[in-house]
Copies of this chain bind each other. A is one copy, B any other.
Amino acid sequence: MGEKGLKLLAKARKETGLAVITELLSEQHAEMVAEYTDIIQIGARNSQNFQLLIAAAKTGKPVLLKRGLSMKIEEWLLAGEYVLSNENPSLMFCERGIRTFETYTRNTLDLSAVPIIKKESHCPIVVDPSQGAGRADLVKAMCKGAVAMGADALLIEVHPNPAEAWSDGTQQVSLEVFGQLMQELRPLILAAGRE
Contact = CB atoms under 8 A, between A and B. Distances in A.
Nearest to A98: B100
Given A51-B25, A142-B149, A101 B104 contact: no
Report copies per complex: 4
Given A144-B149, A145-B148, A191-B188, A112 B119 contact: no
Interface size class of A (residues with CB under 8 A): 35 or more
A99 B110 CA distance: 12
Given A28-B28, A145-B149, A72 B51 contact: no
Given A48-B45, A112-B109, A141-B115, A102 B72 contact: yes
A26 B25 contact: no
Contacts of A149: 141-142, 144-145, 148
